[in-house]
Amino acid sequence: MNVCFNGCSFTVGEGFPSDQRDYYIYDRLLEHKLKFARTNISKSGSSNYSIFMRSADAVMSGKHDCVITQWSALGRLWLYPGPDTAFCTNEAGADYSYRHIYLSKKDKTKLRDTILLLNGDYNNIIDLVKYCNILQQLGTATKTKIIFVNGLVPWTDDLIHQPGKDLANSLSTYSKRMLDFDNRDNVEIINFFTRLQKHFSTLDTTLWVNLFEMWMENIIDVGPEGHHPGIQSNQWIADKIFTYMMTHKIL
């Protein structure tokens, strides 16, 4: 059996030097335990759109019996100023220069903050649901098992519940922030949230290992090279996926 893993830096194994990843990163832990052939197509900093496109290619290739997709932060956005360069709008850091384009570190930070304001989670959630539904359809057509892992998606379980009359206590802090709760009336809030729930209801939640239990919020430790998941954190998600695969008889 061949299992393909796809995602962002969490699934790449950032946080560990490359010579330690075979021992500690969750896809390798599962490979060793379950004795399948593993392929990892993850790329650090990936947006959910780019993750979707790679997973779609992996499913359509016919090379894999199962494709496990770890979804990343909703607001990540990549731009391509030229054929030989890429620019992540969500990163600050060093200056950026490409031909006639120059952005100082200060300008990059301002651009990042502005784009994060313009690129809210509401429609990104709708897009993510669409990505999942397309991958599910492709999996059915190619007889490929599809599994989703929540790495950095902050949605909350009020998406599956009918909000009560007391909206302030019915909606999560995250949902209220996403809907700009304090600056809308109840009719607006209910209409927008009902629309979001309608989209979410098309999602096959049985394909998710940890639908609302975001990995980012369950990081127990970090790797030796930074803030990414460490040994125990990778074991945590590996155990989750193992239990899911056994329960659903994936192997």
* Integer CA distances (angstroms), 97 to 46, 85, 100, 101, 108, in order: 21, 10, 8, 6, 11
Q: Is residue 125 part of a domain?
A: no
Q: Is residue 227 part of a domain?
A: yes
Q: Is residue 39 part of a domain?
A: yes
Q: Is residue 65 part of a domain?
A: yes
Per-residue pLDDT 10s for the chain (251 aa) are: 999 999 999 999 999 999 999 999 999 999 999 999 999 999 999 999 999 999 999 999 999 999 999 999 999 999 999 999 999 988 877 899 999 999 999 999 999 999 989 999 999 999 999 999 999 999 999 999 999 999 999 999 999 988 888 999 999 999 999 999 999 999 999 999 999 999 999 999 999 999 999 999 999 999 999 889 999 999 999 999 999 999 999 98
Beta-ladder partners of 82: 85
**Same domain as 65, residue 100:** no
CA 8 to CA 229: how far, in whole Å? 12
Q: Is residue 169 part of a domain?
A: no
Rg (CA), the chain: 19
Q: What is the pTM of this model?
A: 0.95
**Same domain as 61, residue 25:** yes
**Same domain as 212, residue 110:** no
Q: Which H/E stretch holds residue 66? A: strand 66-71
Q: Is residue 181 part of a domain?
A: no
**Same domain as 210, residue 103:** no
Predicted confidence at residue 187, as pLDDT, reads 94
Q: And the tokens for 242?
A: 């193992």
**Same domain as 41, residue 141:** yes
**Same domain as 138, residue 229:** yes
Predicted confidence at residue 93, as pLDDT, reads 77
**Same domain as 151, residue 222:** yes
Instruction: For the chain, give the number of residues.
Output: 251
Q: Is residue 240 part of a domain?
A: yes
**Same domain as 88, residue 208:** no
**Same domain as 139, residue 226:** yes
**For 81, phi and psi rounded to 5 degrees?**
-65, -20
**Same domain as 239, residue 139:** yes
- CB burial string 121-135: b at 16+ within 10 A, e below: beebbbebbebbeeb
CATH number of the domain residue 39 falls in: 3.40.50.1110
**Same domain as 63, residue 21:** yes
Q: Is residue 176 part of a domain?
A: no
- Structural domain of 92: 78-118
Q: How many separate domains does the chain show? A: 2
**Same domain as 98, residue 6:** no
Predicted confidence at residue 90, as pLDDT, reads 84
